[in-house]
Structure formats: structure tokens, C-alpha cells
């Protein structure tokens, strides 16, 4: 975890700098950006552009079978309940990793996969496309193993920048993913503003969910360590790093894939990315925080992880489809922060996520409407 703390330290220093990049477009006013009007407009443009490519393509993805991912609050209550039931079902399906004692379920298997690949799929060439395949594979398991038929949800953090605790995602109702954790004395990292929870989830779905293994700091992170799900919801972090303004400007101020992925992650190696601080990626994660949500390696054991990364992939989808012809590429090396030093990643590299999922070249993962393997868009 020393590297993560170092990254955070660099990022927070960078957060004090303002105006390092001029906005790349004059199309939107500051009011449009802050209100969400600009994000809504560029999101619609990206969706329309993607659907136009579907109409013109010869792939198996069509306007009739494309899946449209939706923000959590735009999914009807009964469908949200069915989504939760499917996640709970996945928590009952058997783990697919041999020779490990902590993981008990298919849901846990996704945590094992992320644990093994974390040093290669963060602050690297693989970050965006790995997580795209990762959450799509999770969706496929919800459908194939647990019968879910509804829209796959994402969480637009900026809509809750005024109060994460009152978000429809975390309000503790039957149509949420459960509540905040019980209020406890702050135990979070000293470089973060204090959250409002920290203890076990007190109400709603996943109140009785058992986290089976981790944390990464344990002597054997994959050994049994049963405990409750803890959350430490943090509105200050959401407002500071995951606002609608930051989401929108990250998209608009990123002329190429190298800077886009740097801006999304607040990569301290890039002076232009330093203005975002911990950025939307870290901001979304630590708006949830807790255990395992605040664990760099095991955060997928928090059910809200997949909605958070759905929003990251939505940003990527929008960014790509605003200039599709010039945004089918990759940049960076194949290790986190290029430590240890490694070669550049290429689109012909193979991403094998067995035994959880299948194997694809990164090139196959570029297009969400290409039909190989994807056929989805974001509303």
C-alpha cells in the first residue's frame, strides 16, 4: 500500500494548482458545465454517434438488441430490487478459483481477479479496457447465472455531491444498495476529509453480507477473514473530486487517450492531470470508502464498485464517441506507474481473465457497439 499512499500524496499536492489547462472548447458556459447541461448534451451526442455506427455496421450488434446502461435513479424501483437479488444470487454461486480458502462465491472470484491484476491495470495502458471487460463480465454473470434481465446500472457521482448519504444508491431503502455504515470515530487515512460512517452497514440490502477475505494488508489476503461490510460515505470527497463539473471537464480537456486516462486517475506523472487531485476515479471510490470499498486491491468486494466503474466506463464511452475515428488507441506501459519499468501496451496484447471470464485482445474491447464481445451504450 506504500505506492498508493505515495500516489495520493502527489495527487493532493497537485490539487492545489488551478488552471493548468485551458478548456479545449468554448461550446459550453461555466453554468452549463456546473449544472450538468453540458454533460447531458455530450452524452447524447456520444450515444447518437454510437447508434449511427451500429446502423452502418455489419456486426451482430443492432438497434434491436443493444443494451442501454442507465443511471441508478433512472431504473424503476422493482428493477433495482431485481438487480440486488441477482447480486445476492452471485454471492451464493461457487467460487471458481482453486487453492484459495477465503473466497466462497462467484462474487468473491471477481475480487480475486482484481487482486491479482491490480499492479497491471491501474495507471497503465490497460486501465480503461480492463475495467470495461471486467464489469461487462460481471453483468454477464448476473444474467447467465442469476437471471437478471434489466438494465445494468451506473452511478453518476456528481448528482450526489450535495449529500452522498441521501443518494438513492445508499439511502438504506429496499431500492438501494444498502445504507451508510454506522457512525464511528474516524479511522480513515489522515489525508482525507472525515466521512460520516465507518462502521457496518446498518440498513437495507447487504446489511447482512459477509466480506469473506482481505484486506490487502493481511499476511495472507486470500485467507478467510469474515466480517461485515463497512462504509464511510463522504460528501466532501464527492463534491471535491467527483463533481459533475470535474466529470465534464475531464472529458472536454483530454485531447488524446494518454491524457484522458491520466486525468481520470489524477496521474501525478502528468502536470496537466495534477489539477484534478485524486480525480474522479479516486473521488468515486472514496466517496464510498470503508472496508473493502477503500481497499485498492479488494474494492470489488463492495457491491457499489461496479456502479462506480460503470460511470468511469461511461466517461470513456462519451470521450471515445465524441471523436471515434481518432480515439481507438492505447497509451502507456503495462505496469502501474511503469514500476517496474515495462514495455508499452498494444491493442494486440491479450487480456485473459480466466477462470472468471474469457480472453480477448484489447483491440476487441475498444468498441462497445462492435458486437465482439460488446453490444451496449450509455443513456
pLDDT tens string 14-24: 333 333 333 44
Within 13 Å and on the Cβ side, how many CA atoms surround 106?
21
Q: At what angle do helices 257-265 and 305-322 cross, to 10 degrees?
A: 150
- E-assigned strand segments in the chain: 67-71, 153-154, 181-183, 198-201, 210-211, 227-228, 350-352, 359-361, 376-378
Q: Which CATH class is domain 2-378?
A: mainly alpha
Averaged over 142-167, what is the pLDDT? 98
Lowest mean pLDDT among 9-18, 50-59, 307-316: 9-18
Would you call 327 exposed, middle or buried from its count of C-beta atoms within 10 A (0-12, 13-18, 19+)? middle
Alpha-carbon span 83 to 177, nearest angstrom: 10
- pLDDT at res. 43: 98
Averaged over 302-328, what is the pLDDT? 98
Lowest mean pLDDT among 49-63, 213-227, 332-346, 365-379: 49-63
Angle, vertex CA 124, rays to CA 119 and CA 127, nearest 5: 90
What grid cell was written down for 320? 471515445
Averaged over 237-242, what is the pLDDT? 96
Read off the pLDDT band of 188 (50, 70, 90).
Answer: low
Averaged over 76-102, what is the pLDDT? 98
- pLDDT at res. 6: 42
Report whether pLDDT(91) > 80. yes
Structure confidence by residue, pLDDT tens digits, 346-359? 999 999 999 999 99
Distances (CA, A) of 79 to 177, 192, 268, 294, 306: 13, 35, 40, 28, 17
Please state the domain extents for the chain.
2-378
Alpha-carbon span 121 to 333, nearest angstrom: 10
- pLDDT at res. 12: 37
Read off the pLDDT band of 189 (50, 70, 90).
Answer: low
Report whether pLDDT(176) > 70. yes
Averaged over 141-160, what is the pLDDT? 98
Alpha-carbon span 227 to 210, nearest angstrom: 6
Give percent above pLDDT 70 in the chain. 91
Averaged over 374-378, what is the pLDDT? 98
DSSP state for residue 340 in the 8-state scheme: S
Lowest mean pLDDT among 63-72, 269-278, 302-311: 269-278
Average pLDDT, rounded, for the chain: 92
Lowest mean pLDDT among 5-9, 151-155, 293-297: 5-9
Amino acid at each position: 500500500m506504500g505506492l498508493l499512499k505515495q500516489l495520493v500524496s502527489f495527487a493532493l499536492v497537485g490539487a492545489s494548482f488551478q488552471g493548468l489547462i485551458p478548456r479545449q472548447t468554448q461550446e459550453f458556459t461555466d453554468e452549463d458545465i456546473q449544472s450538468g447541461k453540458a454533460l447531458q448534451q455530450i452524452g447524447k451526442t456520444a450515444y447518437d454517434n454510437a447508434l449511427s455506427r451500429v446502423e452502418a455496421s455489419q456486426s451482430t450488434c443492432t438497434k434491436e438488441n443493444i443494451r442501454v446502461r442507465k443511471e441508478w435513479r433512472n431504473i424503476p424501483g422493482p428493477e433495482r430490487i431485481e438487480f440486488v437479488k441477482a447480486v445476492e444470487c452471485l454471492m451464493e454461486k461457487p467460487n471458481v478459483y482453486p487453492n484459495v480458502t477465503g473466497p466462497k462465491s462467484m462474487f468473491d472470484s471477481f475480487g480475486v481477479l482484481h487482486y491479482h491484476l491490480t499492479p497491471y491495470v491501474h495507471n497503465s495502458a490497460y486501465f480503461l479496457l480492463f475495467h470495461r471487460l471486467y464489469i461487462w463480465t460481471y453483468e454477464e454473470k448476473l444474467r447467465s447465472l442469476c437471471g437478471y434481465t434489466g438494465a445494468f446500472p451506473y452511478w453518476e457521482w456528481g448528482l450526489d455531491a450535495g449529500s452522498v448519504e441521501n443518494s438513492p444508491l445508499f439511502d438504506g431503502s429496499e431500492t438501494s444498495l444498502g445504507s451508510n455504515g454506522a457512525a464511528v470515530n474516524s479511522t480513515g487515512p489522515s489525508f482525507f476529509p472525515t466521512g460520516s460512517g465507518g462502521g457496518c452497514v446498518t440498513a437495507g440490502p447487504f446489511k447482512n453480507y459477509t466480506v469473506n477475505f482481505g484486506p490487502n494488508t493481511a499476511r495472507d489476503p486470500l485467507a478467510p477473514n469474515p466480517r461485515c461490510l463497512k462504509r464511510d460515505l463522504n460528501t466532501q470527497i464527492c463534491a471535491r473530486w467527483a463533481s459533475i463539473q470535474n466529470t465534464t471537464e475531464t472529458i472536454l480537456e483530454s485531447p488524446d487517450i494518454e491524457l484522458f486516462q491520466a486525468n481520470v486517475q489524477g496521474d501525478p506523472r502528468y502536470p496537466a492531470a495534477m489539477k484534478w487531485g485524486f480525480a474522479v476515479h479516486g473521488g468515486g471510490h472514496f466517496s464510498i470508502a470503508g472496508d473493502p470499498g477503500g481497499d485498492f486491491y479488494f474494492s470489488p468486494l463492495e457491491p457499489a464498485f461496479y456502479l462506480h466503474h460503470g460511470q468511469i466506463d461511461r466517461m470513456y464511452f462519451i470521450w471515445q464517441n465524441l471523436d471515434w475515428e481518432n480515439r481507438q488507441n492505447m497509451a502507456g506501459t503495462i505496469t502501474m506507474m511503469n514500476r517496474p519499468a515495462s514495455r508499452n501496451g498494444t491493442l494486440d496484447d491479450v487480456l485473459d481473465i480466466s477462470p472468471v471470464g474469457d480472453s480477448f485482445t484489447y483491440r476487441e474491447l475498444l468498441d462497445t457497439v462492435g458486437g465482439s464481445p460488446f453490444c451496449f451504450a450509455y443513456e
